[in-house]
Structure 1
Amino acid sequence: MTIKILAISGGLRAASSNTALLRAAQQLAPEGVEIEIYEGLRDLPYFDEDLEGDVPAAVTALRERVAAADGVLIASPEYNYSIPGGLKNLLDWLSRPYGESVLTDKSIAIMGASGSPFGTVRAQNHLRDVFHQVDAKVVSKPEVYVGANYTRFDEQGNLADETSRNLIAGLIAALVVQIQRNALIGASA
């Protein structure tokens, strides 16, 4: 059985190092694990409770993709010590309607790259707070904070740093374990 992971980048730039992290994750995924990168972040309207009665098609499609995935992998930059606005907007849409979030009990892994020597530690902590609110199952380790991102990628935008690649491979392995654990708990319930 193939494990399906939906990967979401919080970076909108064409040359986003966070999207590049997701491409590296695709390369590092073990056999039996399929990682698909979501490319619709720009298409989402701003979250607005007035739209909840007539949910926009882009939001419905995203919710369906998250619900169908066994797990979610997020790579996020850090802006002003926090989560980028586009990613927060996406998470707000996924958290609704209240009590019916497609993120509840979903296995989630988080990583990120930035130019800061601290990587994306603050943004990832804020993401953990969001996922705590919706009762998602977040992988706690390994933590993947790719700092000084401008030194970690080659000229084609590929992740060349072996330490970062090893951490991402470990994160994917931990996400797979979390997915399998959730499946066992769900089967016994």
Structure 2
Amino acid sequence: MSKTRVALLVGSLRKDSFNRQLARAVEKLAPEDFGFEHIRIDNLPLYNQDFDGDYPPECRRLKDEIGAADALLFVTAEYNRSIPGVLKNAIDIASRPWGTNSFAGKPAAVLGVSVGAQGTAMAQQHLRNVLAYLDVSTLAQPEVFIQHKEGLFGPDGAIGSEGTRKFLQDFVDRYVAWVRRHG
């Protein structure tokens, strides 16, 4: 059986990002036939329409990795009540130039963790709007807005709270079914 290739984009560059930790913990809950590729977005130039005719190598790499994926998973921080600039820039690069949208037609899900009580809700809402425009079918439920608290992640990187782990397992199960239905 071939693996379902999931392009995983984390909207935070911080080395010890809670969202990067969440992405790794969610991977552990997925079935073995789902493979996650962490897509590098920290080395991209700012999108500029001037290079639409001749994309820089790191931009072509991003477009190729997104294009080769069967599904998408966005795990994002929230900066100033919206999508982090680095993630928006990556989305702009991979969806351009016009007619070469690497995201089109792919199933996706969005989740995030934050120290704030609303746990990335605004960033996710904005991201869902952008993805809808890019013809990405996004899993609507369950929404995953997690507030980071001490003990959320165990020493092995797995979810440390049993209730949160069960909630995330339900999310992963529904995401897997969503991807398989749209695959």
Deviation string for 1:123-151 (max 9, x for gaps)?
Answer: 00000000011111101111111113455
Answer with 94-103 or 142-151: which moved more. Answer: 142-151
Alignment partners' CA distance in 1, 2:79 and 2:154? 23
Asked whether 1:169 is paired with 2:166, we answer no
What is aligned with 1:186? none
Alignment partners' CA distance in 1, 2:69 and 2:147? 29
| C-alpha spacing 1:35/1:180, structure 2 compared with 1 (3 Å) | same
The answer to whether the 8 Å contact 1:22/1:37 transfers is: no
The answer to whether the 8 Å contact 1:144/1:164 transfers is: no
**Equivalences for residues 1-189 of structure 1 within 5 A:** 1-38=2-39, 40-150=40-150, 152-154=152-154, 158-183=158-183
- Amino-acid identity (%): 34
* Structure 1 spans left out of the alignment, 5+ residues: 184-189
TM-score between the two structures when normalised by the length of structure 1: 0.89
> SS state of the match for residue 171, structure 1?
helix
- Amino acid of the structure 1 residue aligned with 2:36: I
Offset, 1:170: 2.5
The answer to whether the 8 Å contact 1:2/1:34 transfers is: yes
> SS state of the match for residue 7, structure 1?
strand
| C-alpha spacing 1:165/1:36, structure 2 compared with 1 (3 Å) | farther
The answer to whether the 8 Å contact 1:15/1:157 transfers is: no
Runs of 4+ in structure 1 off by over 6 angstroms are none
Number of residue pairs matched by the alignment: 182
- Amino acid of the structure 2 residue aligned with 1:72: L
The answer to whether the 8 Å contact 1:17/1:157 transfers is: no
> SS state of the match for residue 99, structure 1?
coil
Alignment partners' CA distance in 2, 1:164 and 1:26? 15
- Amino acid of the structure 2 residue aligned with 1:181: R
TM-score between the two structures when normalised by the length of structure 2: 0.91
The answer to whether the 8 Å contact 1:72/1:108 transfers is: yes
RMSD: 1.7
> SS state of the match for residue 172, structure 1?
helix
Offset, 1:163: 2.9
Offset, 1:43: 0.7
Alignment partners' CA distance in 1, 2:139 and 2:3? 20
